[in-house]
Amino acid sequence: MLTEKPASWKFELETPELGNPEAVTYLHAEAETGQFDGIFYDGMRFSFEGPVIVDAEGRWIDSDLSVSLKISATFSTPCSRCLEPSRIEILNDFLYLYSLRKKESPEESSEDGNFHEVQVSRWQRFFDISDHVWESIIVSLPGKVLCSADCKGLCPQCGRPLRNGDCGCSAKELDPRLEKLLGIKIEETKE
């Protein structure tokens, strides 16, 4: 499971011709994911269901280089309620603005969170945008995934998925050992 960007991922976007506002450069790449199980992030496991598709476009906006990035990926992850493997698709756009100007705060980004400033010391022929790709994937991962909007989760007593119908348990007769596991606090009644 990946928790950091794979070392083998390298995506380089060519810098458009300096001083030419009409110049546009493109990058289309597929990040190979076959050798990785997936991403482990924020307590959740996201297994790759194919390559991560990266599309980037570079153009000048005045004296800054705007890099727009489109990320597309499919993952399988356990449903947050019933643990059934669920497919999620990520399709997100991000914007990075490369600038020679010094910023006041290095982590500053606009309020919508999809626009990031990157300070560079000089213009290069190519910029490696693989860190942006990784960052964009991570922020696109949902904090909670449901197999269906009305997933009923698992029976607290027998652990069977409730979507399969009534498991025969009465929800009120909880095994006290299971209560502990579930972290439910129920007042003990002594007889």
- Residues near Zn ion, by CB under 5 A: 79, 81-82, 84, 147, 151, 155, 157-158, 167, 169
Closest Cα partner for 15 from 49, 53, 60?
A: 60
How far apart CA 115 and CA 108 sit, in angstroms, is 9
> What is the number of residues in the chain?
191
Complex with Zn ion: residue 74 or 77, whichever CB lies closer: 77
Complex with Zn ion: residue 34 or 176, whichever CB lies closer: 176
Cβ within 8 Å of residue 177, ≥6 positions away: none
Q: CB 40 → Zn ion: shortest distance, Å? A: 20
Q: Could you give the count of Cα atoms lying within 13 Å of 184 in the half-sphere of its Cβ?
A: 12
Q: CB 169 → Zn ion: shortest distance, Å? A: 3
Q: CB 41 → Zn ion: shortest distance, Å? A: 20
Helical residues (DSSP H) of the chain, grouped into ranges: 130-140, 176-182
Residue type, 129: I
Q: Which residue has the tokens 């190979």?
A: 32
Complex with Zn ion: residue 70 or 160, whichever CB lies closer: 160
Closest Cα partner for 25 from 123, 140, 154, 155?
A: 123
Q: CB 161 → Zn ion: shortest distance, Å? A: 7
Complex with Zn ion: residue 39 or 145, whichever CB lies closer: 145
Complex with Zn ion: residue 103 or 180, whichever CB lies closer: 180
Complex with Zn ion: residue 24 or 158, whichever CB lies closer: 158
Q: CB 81 → Zn ion: shortest distance, Å? A: 5
22-35 burial, b if ≥16 CB within 10 A, otherwise e?
A: eeebebebebebee
Q: CB 49 → Zn ion: shortest distance, Å? A: 18
